[in-house]
Amino acid sequence: MAKENLSRTVGRRREMRPAELWKLKQPKVGEVPGPRQSEINARTGMSSIPVIKNAGGLWIEDHDGNIFMDAVSGRCAVNIGHCHPRIMKLLGSMTVTHGVHESRVALSERLKEITPGNWEKTTSLALSGSGACDAALKYSRWATGRPRVIAFAGAYHGTTYGAMAVSSYKNSMIEGFGPHIPGVSHFPYPNRFRSPFTGEQDGDISEKVISLMKYAFDTYLPPEEVGAMFFEPVAGDAGWIFPDRGFVQALADLCHKHGIYFVSEEVQTGYGRTGEMWGIENYDVTPEVIVLGKAMGGGLPMSGIVGKLEDDLVNRRFPHGHTFSGNPVSCKASVENISIIEDENLVSNSKTIGRKVLDGLEKIRDDSAIICRAEGMGMLLTLEVGSRNNPRPDYATKIVEECYKRGVYTLNMGAWGTGCIRIAPPLVMTAEQASVLVDTLAESISEVEKNEHLHTSNS
């Protein structure tokens, strides 16, 4: 049987091992969704999301033997690729135990080494991004003695009460859960594409946001009561909004002027995702607190914060933690994850391959009638669907479905009713695989345009 046909013999193909999956160059799909996936979809109500049976590198295999490129890295949780052989080997040699373990100490030391800030630091671990945001909120209040917090509109920081208080992603995430933690003031995140001041017009609103903040400081938000400013270096779930460098630096200046901790929320932007180890490094800003999660454990649950330790706190312990937050399995994997990123030069690969993908996305935008924005930083990229004044999340969903049929798993989301395709593959992606991704996106978008009888020129 020809190779081509073999790859389509879904159901009869033997399951692939993670090591074999790592070597794949392109997706292998037949009937999508296949019978097992359809049966699971009926139970979950989900669609266009492969239910994973096996995974390796960029690839996930579903229960029907279809193999998809994971263009979202398990929602940015596996920057080093699924089932990295070094993580798998380490897991095989682990004793399942609990108590004080050297790996917890080693992780803390490594985190202090690799995060920005030439000062004394402390670390605190949690097991989710939400938990780490809560820790950052508590740490900032505890360390500064100040109760108020600044956060940004559209941000998604998680679902626990602290994380929910600083988030402002969608009403549906907060409705019915009040009362919420008080003391949080939200400001607009400068979205060049969709200004809250001018409605549908675009343009740089960075200066306006800074003025608004200064205005607040002079009237109803005493800056000496503000302990923290929660900031995502790229606003993620809001629709992948990339702020100007000058804006981020102006925010940092305001923080330093008023003694406010700049909290860089790097749950999604950390660990090489944006072409630097930390997203905030793209702006030459040094945060007092950095929040980590998702990719931290190399696929295992782990999150945490690294905070500046002021002189008066050196002899005090930040009284926060969870029974399993420093568990040896996740700690060891997290230390190994850092070494893998370093040994395999994944930060620089993120920059190089990310640039290649972005070139492709820009061409797609230029050729397409339904893509109005192509942006990215390292391997955190997006295509926004619709037009500036007429977002089309419905088309975005159709594009995601077409990608799925062609063996590329992606997602779409965005605040304010936008449909932004999430493109965040594992950082181990090669140039060849990047072309497969871009070609599949282009084909899927053309298919939607054809089905919707749209012209493929950006008029």
Ligand X SMILES: Cc1ncc(COP(=O)(O)O)c(C=O)c1O
Question: Least separation, in Å, of the C-beta of 133 and ligand X?
Answer: 6
Please pick, from the candidates 22, 59, 68, 156, the single residue that binds ligand X as defined by CB under 6 A: 156
Binding segment toward ligand X, per CB under 6 A, in 58-66, 153-161, 197-205, 397-405: 153-161
Site for ligand X in 370-429 (CB under 6 A): none
CA 20, CA 55: separation in Å to the nearest integer? 10
* Residue nearest ligand X (C-beta atom): 129
Q: How far apart are CA 77 and CA 79, in angstroms?
A: 6
Distance of closest approach, residue 157 Cβ to ligand X, in angstroms: 5
Report, in Å, the least distance between residue 172 CB and ligand X. Answer: 15
- Of 64 and 265, which CB lies nearer to ligand X in the complex structure? 265
Q: Kindly tell me which of 127 and 445 has the beta carbon lying closer to ligand X.
A: 127
Rule CB under 6 A: is residue 327 a binding residue for ligand X? Answer: no
**Closer CB to ligand X, residue 232 or residue 276?**
232
Which of residues 81 and 236 has its CB atom nearest to ligand X in the complex?
A: 236
Residue 184 falls in which region: left (phi positive, over 0), alpha (psi -120 to 50) or beta: beta
Q: Which residues contact residue 224 at a Cβ distance below 8 angstroms, ignoring those fewer than 6 apart? A: 146, 258, 259
Bridge-partner residues for 82, per DSSP?
57
Give whole-number Cα distances, 98 to 89, 109, 110, 293, 335, in Å: 20, 20, 21, 21, 17
Candidates 157, 194, 392, 398; binder of ligand X (CB under 6 A) is 157
Write each residue from 182 to 221 as x if it is in contact with ligand X (CB under 6 A), else as -, in one continuous string: ----------------------------------------
CB of 333 to ligand X, least distance (A): 16
- 240 or 395, CB closer to ligand X? 240
Q: Checking DSSP bridges between strand 303-308 and strand 184-187, what pairing results, if any?
A: unpaired
* 232 makes contact with ligand X (CB under 6 A): yes
Identify which of residues 334 and 440 has a Cβ nearer to ligand X in the complex. 334
**Contact region with ligand X (CB under 6 A), list: 42-50, 231-239, 376-384, 400-408:** 231-239
User: Six-digit token pair at 10?
Assistant: 């879904």
Provide the minimum distance between the beta carbon of 209 and ligand X in the complex, in angstroms, as a whole number: 19
Q: Which is nearer to ligand X, 108 or 268 (by Cβ)? A: 268
Instruction: Count the residues of the shown chain that bind ligand X, applying the rule CB under 6 A.
Output: 14
Residue 17: left (phi > 0), alpha (psi -120 to 50), or beta? Answer: beta
- Joined together, the tokens standing for residue 121 give 């630091």
Which residue among 64, 237, 288, 384 contacts ligand X (CB under 6 A)? 237
Contacts of 220 (CB under 8 A, 6+ apart): none
At closest approach, how far in Å is the CB of 360 from ligand X? 24
Tokens at residue 305, please? 């914060």
Instruction: Strands of 36-116 (E only): list them.
Output: 52-56, 59-62, 67-70
293 is an interface residue for ligand X by CB under 6 A: yes
Nearby residues of 65 by Cβ (< 8 Å), 6 or more positions away: 10, 11, 12, 13, 15, 30, 34
Least CB distance from residue 300 to ligand X, whole Å?
12
Nearer to ligand X, 79 or 268 (CB): 268
Residue 158 sits in the site that holds ligand X (CB under 6 A)? yes
Beta strand residue intervals within 170-266, DSSP E:
184-187, 226-231, 261-265
Give the closest residue to 378 by CA, choosing from 436, 426, 432, 415. 426
Q: Which residue has the tokens 């790859």?
A: 7
64 counts as binding ligand X under rule CB under 6 A: no
Asked if residue 296 lies in contact with residue 334, where contact means CB atoms within 8 angstroms, the answer is yes
Q: How far is the CB of 414 from ligand X (least distance, A)?
A: 13
Of 57, 116, 223, 236, the one binding ligand X (CB under 6 A) is 236
Which CB, 413 or 429, lies closer to ligand X?
A: 413
Within residues 102-141, the interface with ligand X by CB under 6 A covers: 128-130, 133
3-state DSSP assignment of residue 76: helix
Distances (CA, A) of 105 to 99, 313, 335: 12, 19, 10
304 belongs to the binding site for ligand X (CB under 6 A) = no
Residues found near ligand X in the complex (CB under 6 A): 128-130, 133, 156-158, 232, 236-237, 265, 267-268, 293
